[in-house]
Amino acid sequence: MIQVVNQYAPFTTHTVGEFVKTLSIFDHPNNLIIKEIGDGNLNLVFQLVEPETNRSIIVKQALPYAKVVGESWPLSLNRAKIESESLRIHAKVVPDLVPRVLHTDHELACTVMEDLSEHNILRTELISNRHYPLLAEHIGRYIAQTLFTTSDFALHPFVKKELVQKFTNPDLCKITEDLVFTDPFFDHPTNDFPIELRPTVEKVWSDETLLTEVGILKFQFLTQAEALLHGDLHTGSIFVTEQSTKVIDPEFAFFGPIGFDLGQFFANIILNALSKLAITEHQVRLSELLRTIERTWITFAQEFTKLWEETNHEIYTNIPGILPRFLLKIWTDAIGFTGCEIIRRTIGLAHVADLDTIEDFHTQIKIKERALQLGSDLIKSRTHLYSLAHFTQRIKGALRS
């Protein structure tokens, strides 16, 4: 007899199996192999496999608190609905770049989706020095398509404003506001860094020019509802194979400045590039990573321009000077957000394995010092780095060992 699960409680391997039995997804639902596989901070994730057919799915369920802290940090379960609806919207324009959503249950705060077990987590692959030649084109197209088609350039104003309301995401936006734009720039208890790094960190905290620019970037994040962002586009949210790229986990989705997703992706590629300074014969890897940044922006700009020219309904877009100005705004915003992400991933609450797994502690500290210096430099100089060449040259300067 199938036990109906219709009232929220965190799933166990037993109750998630009972839930899936009600969905008629599997031919042999009583024989499923069920494993909890999530290691994130906000959710439960289960893999369910049917041995007879080798079919498998993923069930992701939001928790009412942040696992990294515990029940003292409550979170709204509505983020599960935001994530599933965001995936459905993105699937309309880039179905090949997101996992298929099979079922959603808003009462249980869960999403049933395609299993991507044949893919690998991009961050892990980059740390292992693997290169994916199609990554840049895929991510550039993903960002351009998902952001343009949810902007005022593509949507009727009524539709856009309705979506802005639908994707109001205060709990997770507050996490970004605090952990990306605020806490790392002040002596806050959530920050996490070794005492050996403190002299460099204190330079960040006392740099009034830097703090002014970060404050401006935070205000842009708070107020510029330009398009439906992924909101957390780091290399742990991207799954890859040689031929396929899948962007997952858009639970931070909300309407914000277009440059934000680009900046987060750029920053996480740069953090991996910085980590290569700890290995010998790293120049080839650094060149590949810089080309990834370059090709991502080039693809984004080309795709965005094509959409602008072919599907835009805003009358002012016919004025020749508008598109270059808007692309320049996206570009400079992205550089600033890149700097914020680099700094927060180095000294804030949530780090990246790229830097933290550098075995030699002295080398790790030196590279983290360089990360903080680069992040600060990008934030303060973003309006002067007018071109891709200027940007990559500044990164190359930080990568010279």
Q: Report the percentage of the chain scoring pLDDT > 90.
A: 90
Q: Which fold has domain 120-399?
A: Aminoglycoside 3'-phosphotransferase; Chain: A, domain 2 (3.90.1200)
CA dihedral 109, 112, 113, 119 (to 10 degrees): 80
Which is more confident, 284 or 372?
Answer: 372
Looking at residues 126-138, what average pLDDT do you find?
Answer: 96
Q: Which residues contact 159 (CB under 8 A, 6 or more apart)?
A: none
Q: How many CB atoms lie within 10 A of CB 306?
A: 13
Please check the confidence at residue 83 and state whether its pLDDT lies above 50.
Answer: yes
What's the confidence (pLDDT) of residue 57?
98
User: At 19, is the secondary structure helix, strand, or coil?
Assistant: helix
The single-letter code of the amino acid at 270 is I
Q: Per-residue pLDDT tens for 345-354?
A: 999 999 999 9
Q: Tell me if 99 sits within 8 A of 250, measured CB to CB.
A: no
pLDDT at residue 158 greater than cutoff 90: yes
pLDDT at 400: 84
For residues 201-217, average pLDDT: 98
Cβ contacts of residue 1 below 8 Å, gap of 6+?
none
| Residue 138 near residue 251, CB atoms below 8 Å | no
Is 40's pLDDT higher than 90? no
Matching residue, tokens 């991933």: 345
Q: How confident is the model at residue 2 (pLDDT cuts 50, 70, 90)?
A: very low
For the cut 50, the answer to whether the pLDDT of residue 271 exceeds it is: yes
Reported residue count of the chain is 401
Residues 237-252 have pLDDT tens digits of 999 999 999 999 999 9
Average pLDDT over residues 183-188: 98
Q: What is the DSSP string of 102-139?
A: EEEETTTTEEEEE--TTSEEHHHHHHTT---TTHHHHH
Instruction: List, by residue range, all CATH 3.90.1200.10 domains of the chain.
Output: 120-399
Mean pLDDT, the chain, whole residue set: 95
Determine what percent of the chain is predicted with pLDDT higher than 70.
Answer: 96
SS3 65: strand
Give the CA count within 13 Å in the CB-facing half-sphere of 256: 28
Q: Is the pLDDT of residue 232 over 90?
A: yes
Tell me: pLDDT of 63 over 80.
yes
> What integer pLDDT is reported at residue 341 of this predicted model?
98
State yes or no: pLDDT of 1 exceeds 60: no
183-193 average pLDDT score:
98
Residue 367 to residues 66, 95, 311, Cα–Cα distance (Å): 30, 38, 45
Which residues are within 8 A (CB) of 85 and not within 5 positions of it... i.e. 6 or more apart? 166, 167
Cβ burial 184-215 (10 Å sphere, 16+ → b, else e): bbeeeeebebeeebeebbeebbebeebeebbe
| Residue with the two structure tokens 């804030």 | 348
Model pLDDT, residue 143: 98
* Bridge partners for 120 per DSSP: 240
Q: Which residue has the tokens 């802005």?
A: 164
CA distances from 325 to 78, 307, 320, 321, 337 (A): 36, 16, 10, 6, 18
One CATH from 3.30.200.20, 2.60.40.10, 3.40.190.10, 3.30.1010.10 for 13-114: 3.30.200.20
Q: What is the DSSP letter of 371?
A: H
Q: How far apart are CA 214 and CA 310, in angstroms?
A: 35
Other beta carbons less than 10 A from residue 89's beta carbon: 19
CB 308 within 8 A of CB 323: yes
- pLDDT of 319: 93
| pLDDT attached to residue 65 | 87
Q: What average pLDDT does range 94-115 have in this prediction?
A: 97
Chain segment 293-326, per-residue pLDDT in tens: 999 999 999 999 999 999 988 899 889 999 999 9
In the predicted model, is pLDDT for residue 39 greater than 70? no
Residue 102, pLDDT score: 97
Query: Both tokens of residue 400?
Result: 């010279």
Least confident of 63-77, 83-97, 105-119, 272-286: 63-77
- pLDDT score recorded for residue 69: 66
Nearest in space to 112 (alpha carbons), one of 122, 99, 98 = 99
Q: Which part of the chain is CATH 3.30.200.20? A: 13-114
Cβ-proximal residues to 171 (8 Å cutoff; 6+ apart), any chain: 75, 76, 78, 79
Residue 234: pLDDT over 80: yes
